[in-house]
Amino acid sequence: MEKNKLYIPEHVGIIMDGNGRWAKKRGMPRYVGHTYGAQTFRKITRYISKCGVKILTLYAFSTENWKRPPEEVDAIMKIFDQYLVDALTDFRDDDIKVVFIGDKSGFSPRLRKLIEENEEVAKDRKGMLLNIAMNYGSRDEIVRAVKMISQDVLDKKLDVNDINEDTIASRLYTSGQHDPDLIIRTGGEHRLSNFLLYQSAYSEFYSTETLWPDFKNEDFDKAIIEFNKRNRRFGGV
């Protein structure tokens, strides 16, 4: 991609969907798709960092995904475990700063410890910020923010009349981060499925039929080229 001619969005979000269908198409159990999806995750993250994106938010597991059959949830947790062990060194050379957004209390003590270790080893890195959304749901995130605001009002740290959009934004997991400019969804659906609802008010949405395990660097390039054709008005003219 001739990146010098294109505007690279500052913050990109990706809804990594289609792992199950990818495996089914090949006559394999759904969880196999998640294993391949994890490989795509690694490769594409490095590529996106090299493209000059400053913040990448990847949707890995939603607060609603616990509804899936226990065998599938277990398989996903095992993949996370393996991923988190590898990730301790994985993105070091690319200087990628990994943080996790979502309700960490939903995970086993072992996973929580691995998550903490990953954040700790990456905390001084200066490259792309990678938000991994795990047990993330935007409604849950907003409820959490409302509780924090209510407590601050009760404690008289905040006056109700001073509540504004920033009061809410600064209590979301993405506090201090530029809103996503572009949200990509693989797997062909045209919905957000509880991803960054507050933050995506003016994000450009790009959907591709490509299933996540098949998503390649060139597919990301296509999304960037399409993004460059969009006319973002933010309600203006």
- Residue 102 binding ligand IPE, by CB under 6 A: no
State in angstroms the smallest separation of the CB of 1 from ligand IPE: 25
**CB atoms < 10 A from the CB of 46, how many?**
16
User: Helices (DSSP H) in 19-156: which residue ranges?
Assistant: 19-25, 30-51, 70-90, 109-122, 138-154
Q: In what order do the strands lie in the sheet with 182-185?
A: 97-101, 129-136, 55-62, 11-15, 182-185, 204-207
Which one of the spans 18-26, 77-85, 109-117, 152-160 is the region binding ligand IPE (CB under 6 A)? 18-26
Q: Which does 74 bind (CB under 5 to 8 A by kind): Mg ion, ligand IPE, none?
A: none
Check if 86 is active-site: no
Candidates 36, 41, 59, 215; binder of ligand IPE (CB under 6 A) is 59
| Torsion of Cα atoms, 198 then 203 then 205 then 206, to 10° | -130
- Residue 60 binding Mg ion, by CB under 5 A: no
Check if 228 is active-site: no
The first and second tokens of residue 38, run together, are 């994890």
Amino acid (one-letter) located at 32:
V
Which one of the spans 13-21, 85-93, 145-153, 167-175 is the region binding ligand IPE (CB under 6 A)? 13-21
Amino acid (one-letter) located at 235:
G
Q: What residue ranges bind ligand IPE (CB under 6 A)? A: 15-21, 59-62, 65, 76, 187, 189, 191, 193
Q: What residue ranges bind Mg ion (CB under 5 A)? A: 17
